[in-house]
Structure 1
Amino acid sequence: MEPLNKTERNTSLINFIAVYVLILALPLFLSYWMGTKKGGKGGNQKAISEQEALVKDMDVLQQYVKDIEEHNQHIPAEGLPFETWNSWLTKAEQQNTEFFKKITDFQAKRNYTGARLRIRDNACAYLFQISKERGNYIQKRRALLGVQNGTAELRRLQNENNQLKSEKQGLQNNLNVMLAQSQKAAGAGGGGGAQQPNPQIEELKWQIRFNDANCKKIQADILEAYNENSKRRQLYSVARQNFQIITQNARSNFAIQQLASDKILEIDRLMSRL
């Protein structure tokens, strides 16, 4: 799979290398320059002081660049779980925020003049560009991660809905068999007296009703990906009504009553956001 915004990443890499070399070379160059200035007669003490400060500031920024490059070496491979990518991006965002602040602080300093000022401004221009491009990549990667995670959630809901439909069909088949057996037994008994309800049959009926209501709820959940809020409200309302009937009437099955109550609370939370 091609990486996200490959062209931008290549451009960022070229800029990154250029600035990295600049940052790496400047402290060495400035140190050498200061040594020659100090050895000469009538050295400009102000210039030397500025050069020393510039070396220190560039050393700090150099370390930030090294840390960013090290973090880039551990970028997750395509297809790894959401949690892995999210962890990497969170740290990258934190690094970039700190990096940007450090560049801003560096640019705001007023203790440079002449050549030192030009060196500082040029370095900041490159560093700000790196921070911007890195921020753009993080933002786009975040967006892609959200889409991928949303797609995975949609697929999960669809699979769950299909599973519920299959379970519902199985329950209905069992109910049909039990009803047929019950009717056959009633016919064999001569039909005398009122027939008592079969607890197993009653429980199956409630399970089927719960399953059907849950299917409606999951269908509404799926429609979130398509911004079908009107249809979602309709499905949630139907599901809620059925769950409400279960909580009020399925007294022989406390477990299914409790599940239905939980589903009602969940639907209420979801509908409050629509």
Structure 2
Amino acid sequence: MNKQDKIYIAGHRGMVGSAILRQLKAEGYTNFILKTSSELDLRNQQAVANFFEQEKPDYVFLAAAKVGGIVANNTYRGDFIYENLMIQNNVIHQSHVNGVKKLMFLGSSCIYPKMAPQPLKEEYLLTGLLEPTNEPYAIAKIAGIKMCDGYREQFGCDFISVMPTNLYGPNDNYDLKNSHVLPAMLRKFITAKRNGDASVTIWGTGSPKREFLHADDLAAACLFLMKNYSDSGLVNIGIGEDISILELAQLVKKIVGFEGDILTDTTKPDGTPRKLMDVSKLSGLGWKAKITLEEGIRKVYDEIKDTAWE
């Protein structure tokens, strides 16, 4: 990648896309194509075709997706599979048609089977049943990986796929109905502290374990792989360590300075028991995460602690 190459970041205002944009700018890249969803509906095949024909980007980071937590994934199952398939089909295909030099497709750790051995190795893809609550989203993401591989094999396209673990950081979603576990937890504890509540309730038993990666670390890994990786299949991006949801709640409680109790609501689902990425492939290529979980959550807390949520 040259500093003047034309780079299109699909989803540049989301947590992942905005982190990639910050990383590229920090490394001296200047030629960006940025369109909001209102300016360009990536679900619209003709609109995407027109956009690519006009702009002719050299590099594409496909970070646009319809995302959400357990409730959103389980409630809007049709939306999640349709919208994500349309977005990625249009962007990947038009990248091929218009001669994009390299494309990076960003997926999610939910592509792996629910009961896959831990930690999750790249070769475990399609070896078992998916977690039912987010199956439509996962199937769309799996299709994206296979589409990149198919276009690589048939047309020689340099399209690569990366699978981040659970992410957090600037521009995250804090809507309690649609957010992921860490931002939802941060909001709950901040609100409880403001209100002087006696307790905060977390979903499920608190026993599932999750791995969390700061979006800035993800962006650094993405740029590293864009420069240094070119192969079929996928690459996991994570830190290789996990924490139970209850331990996470205790850490957030400490960082926020909440004095009350943590309660568990066992009528709510736990989701997948454990999702830890095997990052040996990425480590072998020469990259490792730098931001610790406590350091990262403190940074996020400082950014959002005064947010006036409705």
Per the shorter chain, which TM-score range? Answer: under 0.3
Q: Which has the higher contact order (CA 8 A, sep 6+)?
A: 2
Higher share in helix? 1
Higher share in strand? 2
Scaled by the length of structure 1, the TM-score of the pair is 0.24
